[in-house]
Structure 1
Amino acid sequence: MSAEELTPATEFTESGGGARPRRKVLSSPYLHRLQRRHFLLFDILPIVGTAGAIAFLAVHAIRLSDLILLFVFWLLTGLAITVGYHRLFTHRTFKATRSVTVVLAVLGSMAGQGSVISWVALHRRHHECSDREGDPHSPNLSGSGFAGRLKGLAHSHFLWMRRHEYPNIVHYAPDLLKNQPLVRVARLYYYWVVLGLLLPGIIGGLVTMSWTGAVSGLLWGGLVRIFLLEHIVWAINSFLHMFGTRPYDSRENSRNGAVFALITLGEAWHNNHHAFPDSPSFGLEWYRLDPGFWLIRLLAAGGLASEVDVPSSERRAAKRLPATTATTATRA
């Protein structure tokens, strides 16, 4: 490896022949082609599908069944992202049975946001470099002023996925690579996404006994659902690293957005999460709406989850910022 390649994104490991570098991130034309393909299929296509769903209303008026399919598949895949991909697989904030692990991985894959191992590696990289050089989707690295902030928001919300350095899964997700059920789910990622599109279409067709019902089910329960969930999740990366309240001290610019707590299934308590990434509860207090944590508590009550430990009040108090700092809604 040449001296030019020994960037800060490289760490050294010991081997029989002495110290040798292991890259934290990978970049190649092949990986960038895969990223462009994924961007077109699962980021651009849902936008086209949402426009198609609106146009299809001229042929098939939206029915209650379409709205139910949209809500149910949004809820299932959204909970799988926050509870499975994020709290369980990335941060290991609790333990779950093998069956729950596999179900969460499959449903999370249906969200079209990447295979479970890649998603985890990217998010662990984000926490390691959050709002600093190396963060794949920070809104705060594009300069100051209105133009810089607007460029940062566009990058962090959407554009970064077209082409970016790929976190080395051997470095960032070695625990998941040892989990054979998760590896098998990850290898079938594209099939799970297709299944997540076909299921609402099949159900819609059976409910209405018509091809228009099947198409409408696929559009609303499939593509529109992916579109809505994606932008909800991306808004956490973009807007909540720039706007909102900041009750706890953390090394990056994460913010809470309480008004979005329900629609984000608890993810909007983003500063809480960055301050205590090992907590299965993002709300931290019982009165803060956190549907993701409600599901974890339900799984624990049924014996399907364990080690559900929330940071103590003393630990939270030690990181709490003064009220004047906590309530600011502008970038630090």
Structure 2
Amino acid sequence: MTQTLQRPPNTAEPMLAGEKSRTETFLVKLFAVVPLLALAAAVPFAWGWGLGWTDVALAIGFYFLTGLGVTIGFHRYFTHGAFKANRGLRIALAATGSMAMQGPVIGWVADHRRHHAFADREGDPHSPWRYGTSAAALAKGFWHAHMGWLFDREKTNAQRFAPDLLADRDIARIDRWFPALTVVTLLAPAVLGGLVTMSWWGALTAFFWASLVRVAVLHHVTWSVNSLCHMIGDRPYAARDKSANFWPLAIASMGESWHNSHHADPTGARHGVRRGQLDMSARLIWLFEKVGWATEVRWPKPERLARKLNPGYSAAPRGFGKAERGLLTETPDRSRS
């Protein structure tokens, strides 16, 4: 069975691979701006008409389908190797993550591995701290981390940061299929909406809500992990950067906003490691493990987290739950670590 594994960046290769082409730059702007305009139009569009339960169901369904493709697939699996996946799951995660319209899988992973290699330092593609700590600098940094970095012409070198994915024929093929998967993610809700309502109007409203608005909301939730989760929130664990846990985004980000916990233990399959920290991505990985699709899952270890605990925080992560759900069962004792 072919297996994609995380490999350390090849430091012999340059960090950047030139600049994005004008076509690539145009498409990035198109995919970022058009859904945003749809989101801005959503409130007046929906005022009293143009939104039904079919639209809501399709929007929620495609939001979590594609979002989990990013959180479980692009991030925890392809970027960090938090578990091993069989070929079917690996392909499915690459395809559904691509349908989030956040870029092809190899480029996404290369950017994110570069982010971890240089988090909040020179070389990080989207740190909000790159311009300084004054109010004006942080405002500029927030824009850059949230969205502005996407418009930069520099291109992360995949040969250095994602050689394993370039060598994987299945993933390289899905990477090339990104334009086709973009068409699928935009048109599938419209087709389903039209079939359910048996009307062109149902297809149009489904396209607006479950395609354009859904993509825009997921974009901004993901980008908020880059921006907000490196600026504000709770920092119970020591990390080399300013990553923080931001609880208001826990559900919408499918567990990704427990960002300080993630940066403290990057290869961990679960980011929400304290009681009450919802992490549906981790729960789904646990289900994949139970049915045998995922193996060698890297669940968090109490002794590792205890060693990284910042002063002023309780050594006990407020109860962990059951080990078979990828949680910890005992209170870490710092005196033994």
Same fold (TM over 0.5): yes
Q: 1:73 aligns with which of 62, 74, 80?
A: 62
1:281 and 1:290 in contact (8 A); partners too: yes
Give the percent of matched residue pairs that are identical in Structure 1 and Structure 2: 41
2:77 and 2:84 in contact (8 A); partners too: yes
Q: Which residue of 1 aligns with 2:132?
A: 143
Query: Which amino acid letter does the alignment assign opposite residue 233 of structure 1?
Result: T
Cα separation, partners in 2 of 1:185 and 1:320, compared to 1, 3 Å: same
Q: Which residue of 1 aligns with 2:310?
A: 321
Query: Which amino acid letter does the alignment assign opposite residue 266 of structure 1?
Result: G
Q: Which residue of 2 aligns with 1:221?
A: 210
Write out per-residue CA displacement over residues 19-68 of structure 1, whole angstroms, 9 at most, x where no aligned residue.
Answer: xxx3221223xx14244223222100111233455554479521001011
Mapping 1:195-206, distance limit 5 Å? 195-206=184-195
Secondary structure in 2 aligned to 1:280? coil
Secondary structure in 2 aligned to 1:262? coil
Cα separation, partners in 2 of 1:52 and 1:215, compared to 1, 3 Å: farther
What is the root-mean-square deviation of aligned Cα atoms in Å? 2.0
1:246 and 1:325 in contact (8 A); partners too: no
Q: 2:142 aligns with which of 135, 153, 156?
A: 153
2:36 and 2:216 in contact (8 A); partners too: yes
Write out per-residue CA displacement over residues 275-308 of structure 1, whole angstroms, 9 at most, x where no aligned residue.
Answer: 1001000112464210000010011111111111
Q: Which residue of 1 aligns with 2:334?
A: none
Q: Which moved more, 1:58-67 or 1:306-315?
A: 58-67
Number of residue equivalences:
307
Query: Which amino acid letter does the alignment assign opposite residue 152 of structure 1?
Result: G
Secondary structure in 1 aligned to 2:220? helix
1:126 aligns with 2:128: no
1:50 and 1:219 in contact (8 A); partners too: no
1:158 and 1:234 in contact (8 A); partners too: yes
Query: Which amino acid letter does the alignment assign opposite residue 244 of structure 2?
Result: R
Distance in 1, Cα, partners of 2:130 & 2:42: 36
1:124 and 1:172 in contact (8 A); partners too: yes
In the alignment, structure 1 segments of 5+ residues that lack a partner are 1-8, 13-21, 327-332
Distance in 2, Cα, partners of 1:141 & 1:172: 21
Mapping 1:48-87, distance limit 5 Å? 48-54=37-43, 56-57=45-46, 60-87=49-76
Q: 2:18 aligns with which of 27, 50, 53?
A: 27
What TM-score, normalized by structure 2, do the two folds share? 0.87
Query: Which amino acid letter does the alignment assign opposite residue 23 of structure 1?
Result: P
Q: 1:289 aligns with which of 278, 288, 294?
A: 278
1:116 and 1:186 in contact (8 A); partners too: yes
Query: Which amino acid letter does the alignment assign opposite residue 185 of structure 2?
Result: G
Distance in 2, Cα, partners of 1:217 & 1:37: 26
1:192 aligns with 2:181: yes
In the alignment, structure 2 segments of 5+ residues that lack a partner are 1-8, 316-337
Q: CA deviation at 1:258?
A: 2.0
Cα separation, partners in 2 of 1:254 and 1:176, compared to 1, 3 Å: same
Distance in 2, Cα, partners of 1:286 & 1:91: 24
Q: Which residue of 1 aligns with 2:249?
A: 260
